[in-house]
């Protein structure tokens, strides 16, 4: 149902770690390098245990700005579920995280998931361009969840 290939609008941006005697520093995003429509309006961090996946799900009105920088590695999955997209029904899977620090911008309508494939829990930053549940957390959650659908076409390997 899906064909391996790039997805229009998904941005894979390698991140650099700057090491010195104190440890390392990694810039997660800069407004001068990010289109205004992707500017984060909130931020959160999550930890995912080895072997555990989050997703697949998609958003109707939200673009996610993930940063994977360690510790641990993840498989990042994206599927183009937008019928009007020139890359409709394409899918991509990339290894990101400690071995390959990466920011990933996932636009509206692109189904996405990630799975911690390292031996230690992994840290993920997200700076979405919409507030979770809107101002005052009074709106419905902007998610279409696919992980519990028995015949879901979104498979993690």
Q: What is the pLDDT of residue 157?
A: 78
pLDDT digits 0-9 by tens, 96-131: 999 999 999 999 999 999 999 999 999 999 999 999
Averaged pLDDT, 84-88: 98
Q: What is the pLDDT of residue 150?
A: 85
Task: Count the domains in the chain.
Answer: 1
| Residue 153 belongs to some domain of the structure | no
User: What is the domain extent for residue 50?
Assistant: 3-135
Q: What is the pLDDT of residue 22?
A: 97
| Residue 151 belongs to some domain of the structure | no
| Residue 112 belongs to some domain of the structure | yes
Distance separating alpha carbons of residues 78 and 66, to the nearest angstrom: 12
| Residue 145 belongs to some domain of the structure | no
| Residue 157 belongs to some domain of the structure | no
Averaged pLDDT, 71-87: 97
Tokens of 105: 């911008």
Tokens of 152: 């879901």
Tokens of 15: 């991140």
| Residue 141 belongs to some domain of the structure | no
| Residue 107 belongs to some domain of the structure | yes
pLDDT digits 0-9 by tens, 40-67: 999 999 999 999 999 999 999 999 999 9
pTM of the model: 0.95
Helices (H) and strands (E) in the chain — how many of each?
A: 0, 13
Averaged pLDDT, 27-37: 95
Using CB atoms within 10 Å of the CB of residue 50, give its burial: 0 to 12 exposed, 13 to 18 middle, 19+ buried. middle
Indicate whether 148 pLDDT > 90.
no
| Residue 127 belongs to some domain of the structure | yes
pLDDT digits 0-9 by tens, 4-30: 999 999 999 999 999 999 999 999 999
pLDDT grade for 138, boundaries at 50, 70 and 90: very high
Instruction: Judge contact between 50 and 72, C-beta under 8 A.
Output: yes
DSSP state of 60: S
Domain containing 41 — which CATH number? 2.60.120.10
Instruction: Judge contact between 114 and 26, C-beta under 8 A.
Output: no
Cβ neighbors of 77 (< 8 A, separation 6 or more) are 55, 56, 91, 92, 93, 112, 113, 114, 115, 154, 156
Three-state SS for 53?
strand
């Amino acid at each position: 149902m899906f064909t391996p290939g790039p997805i229009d609008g998904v941005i894979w941006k390698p991140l650099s770690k700057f090491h010195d005697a104190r440890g390392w520093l990694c810039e997660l995003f800069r407004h001068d390098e990010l289109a205004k429509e992707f500017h984060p309006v909130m931020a959160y961090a999550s930890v995912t245990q080895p072997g555990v996946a989050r997703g697949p799900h998609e958003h109707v009105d939200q673009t996610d700005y993930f940063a994977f920088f360690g510790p641990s590695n993840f498989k990042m999955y994206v599927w183009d579920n937008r019928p009007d997209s020139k890359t409709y029904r394409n899918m991509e899977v990339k290894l990101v995280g400690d071995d390959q620090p990466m920011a990933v911008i996932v636009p509206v309508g692109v189904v996405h998931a990630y799975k911690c494939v390292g031996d230690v829990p992994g840290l993920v930053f997200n700076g979405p361009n919409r507030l979770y549940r809107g101002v005052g957390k009074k709106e419905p959650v902007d998610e279409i969840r696919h992980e519990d659908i028995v015949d879901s076409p979104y498979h993690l390997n």
